[in-house]
A and B are shown apart, each in its own frame.
Chain A
Amino acid sequence: MATEKTDVVIVGVGAAGGILAAELGKAGMKVIGLERGPRLTTQDFDPHDELRYFQRQDLRPNIKRQPITWRPNANAAATAIPVQNYGNQAGGGTVHYGAVSWRLHEDDFRARSHTIARYGASAIPEHSSLADWPLSYADLEPYYERAEYELGVSGKAGNLQGQKIDGGNVFEAPRRRDYPLPPLRLDQGAILFEAATRKLGYHPFSTPRAILSEPYHDRLACTYCGFCQAFGCHVGAKSSILVTKLPEADASGNFKLITGAMCHRVNSDNSGRVTGVGYYGPDGSDNTIEAELVILTTFIYDNTRLLLLSKTDKFANGLANSSGQVGKHLMAHMMPNVYAVFDDRHVNNYMGPSAQKHTIDDFNADNFDHGGTGFIRGSQISVGTGNLQGGPIGHTTTAPPPGTPRWGAAYRDYLAKSFTRQVAMVAQTENLPYGDQVIDLDPDVKDAWGLPAPRLTYDWRRPNELARVEFMMKKMEEIGRTMGAAQVWRAPLGPGAPGAHHEGGTRMGSDPKTSVVNRYGQSWDVPNLFVIGSSTFSSMSGFNPTLTIQAFAYMSADAIVNRYRKAPGSLL
């Protein structure tokens, strides 16, 4: 058992933790980062191995060692979810993610008040806990820009200081600067999607991605190998934390990374401050770090679980939980898919970055009139690969068209023909928060360290969400037919389990009575404890969360370095 002292301990060195480690280290603070998994390098990703990385999820948490359970409602039994969509190594999810990098819309930050203003209070479903964020897009804009430029994001501006630009996302919030890198190259699916959606009067554009379209900051450009989402990048062109912020943290001389470290507790004293953390080493040892500042930047499950596990006599409800809001308002994107297969042309969908290649934003957020649709908020619609994977194993995990069996000679012939001729469209729907969608501690299931597994109670199949999915399915079918596909069909919808991009659990807000942290991720109850990541999101938008997580990490780092360090205490 070891005890170390430091200025700052960061638990989880991923999308947010990596940025904080580098920025605080560069500012002269002594930082220790705890990471549950290993630290890999670019050369570890040489093998282009679909079985290992896509099918067996080698860069994700092991579901037997680290189970997460789910139940549709409080009366049902919880069972372990089969795939966990977050990272399990230094760099976290940025190592294996598809690198799709959005700024949220202006109205995403005030989804509740905007909805009420345009459609009336009755438009918000009765049990939804939809809330405005405690800050505006304009507050976060400089940090979005910093993330795009420091990490390296490829795309084309669609709204430069209010001027709309065709070919970019004309629905995006105004940006002061264009992307640092031009858009990634279009593949055949993107070319077909671009033409079809223009014909339908929509506004297609190349999805902004944290993947280098050109060499940048001494890093190589994308080779379009296609082993992207679920894989680490073999040339380091994906702007993961491994190749961006960790080298900066190392160079600061103030950062120490401890891998194989499972944090199990945040320690606190009777004064109401946290004093550090406890973690299990790879040999099972129980170790302590004493720190002036504790920053939790794990995925939403552990951000929540650590607070619940760290209860004391003083914090009987769990740490930072005087509001009773810890674990509440779990959200997830649903990802309805429509497939389109062509008779007379190849699309060779295994080429290029595999996630959300080309996009329309016409039906996202409140970018269109929802009157009469039966739902609020929207969805981004993209073309890409089925199950975000362009290889042949991935293809066999998608549903064949109606009338084609899942095995036998007819299935073999379908695979042989469709593998190079099929695309997938996906809608990423903004599911609303609801107060009964929660994360708590499973009373029965324990992980490999003996800690209770995080348990999700969640069912997306609510009237507002079902209506939104149906609307988007119809739009995608329309696009598929306009692309000239021979056959267009819907993938079946799963049960009510949460889909991609789980968010919520330590909600940020303006009121300590109804939220866990402030806009900086600082606990209202414990000022030397920060929680940063998508666990703090007030609502989820129809966009992938990572760039927003990273913008918040930059904003919090600024606040800690320039204000908190001089006057430790509440930043508000």
Chain B
Amino acid sequence: MTKHDEARRAFLLGAAVGAGAVAGATLVPDALAQTHDARTTGTGIGPAHSPAGGPGLGAFFNTEDAATVAAFTERLMPGAPGKPGARDADVLNYIDLALAGAYADLQYFYRRGLASLDAYCRKTHKEPFRDLSAAQQDEVIAALEQAKASEFSWPSAAAFSNTVRTHTMEGMFADPIYGGNKDFAGWRLVGFPGGQMEFTAADMQSSGPFTRLPIVGLQAKAG
């Protein structure tokens, strides 16, 4: 890992911790329990995010927006013991990199959506989204989804929450080269063996779980 990578990870982890994300999730899906690896059980505790201009900047989000997105995505895909969630999979990193690259045309969509979200939360709960309790955050997301949240114009509350949901699922389940699905957290959650080059007749005859290792990613494999 390069120094830049380390600093970047610290930034993203700091954002996740700052958002009050759950810690200590382990990754033990039913089919792949034996692949469980100590490196995937990290607590996610890293240094607090750095001031702007210093080391640890993200590719797109500032520290407050990063904390908001980390909190939002963790509520969409919450982690629990044995069940990795958005923070475990580094979904924030996926979205941050995507907005700096393939989804650059959505930068303004996110800026406006996050500003509207903050305005709505300050109006209804007197705090920004990232500082609310998990239960309050769920309430807010439900209001967005049902288009009941004020303070949104463009993007609409529903469009914003739907887009974050889509990107959360991409960050959970896309190949790790895109910055999420860390250590195949998402694939382990659902029992997907990744980009296998072949399934045999015996594999397809089985009505049980597929357990042959390794899990295959574009640049990494995991036993």
Contacts and interface: CB of A to CB of B under 8 A. Distances in A.
Interface stretch (B40-48, B74-82, B115-123): B74-82
A403 interface: no
B199 A412 contact: no
Contacts of B198: 223-225
B169 A396 contact: yes
A384 B82 CA distance: 30
Interface in B201-223: 201, 203-204, 206-210, 216, 218
A346 B190 CA distance: 12
A393 B189 contact: no
Interface string B182-208: 000011011110111111110110111
Contacts of B160: none
B1 interface: no
A346 B186 contact: no
A416 B175 contact: no
Interface string A343-354: 001111011100
A226 B165 CA distance: 25
Interface string B74-94: 011110100101000000000
Contact of A408 (B76, B195, B197): B76
A223 B78 contact: no
A406 B162 CA distance: 10
A188 B186 CA distance: 23
A64 B194 CA distance: 30
A101 interface: no
A406 B165 contact: yes
B19 to A, nearest CB: 16
Contacts of B76: 407-408
A166 interface: no
A351 B199 contact: yes
B196 A225 contact: yes
Interface string B150-173: 000000000000000100111011
B178 interface: yes
B50 to A, nearest CB: 30
B197 A223 contact: yes
A56 B83 CA distance: 27
B163 to A, nearest CB: 12
Contacts of A223: 197-199
B199 A416 contact: no
A51 B197 contact: no
Interface residues of A, number: 42
B207 A50 contact: no
B138 interface: yes
B29 interface: yes
Interface in B120-146: 138, 141, 145
B207 A408 contact: no
A226 B31 CA distance: 19
B204 A186 contact: yes
B72 to A, nearest CB: 10
A347 B207 contact: yes
A135 interface: no
B195 A348 contact: no
A234 interface: yes
Contacts of A413: 83
A225 B83 contact: no
Interface in B61-83: 75-78, 80, 83
A392 B77 CA distance: 14
Contacts of B83: 412-413, 416
Which of B85, B165, B174, B201 is the most central at the interface, judged by chain A CB atoms within 10 Å of its CB? Answer: B174
Interface of B: 29, 31, 75-78, 80, 83, 85, 102, 105, 138, 141, 145, 165, 168-170, 172-175, 178, 186-187, 189-192, 194-201, 203-204, 206-210, 216, 218
30 contacts: A48-B194, A48-B195, A48-B196, A48-B216, A49-B175, A51-B175, A51-B178, A185-B201, A223-B197, A224-B198, A224-B199, A225-B197, A225-B199, A346-B208, A351-B210, A352-B204, A392-B172, A392-B187, A392-B190, A392-B192, A393-B169, A395-B190, A397-B169, A406-B165, A408-B138, A412-B83, A412-B85, A415-B190, A416-B191, A420-B192
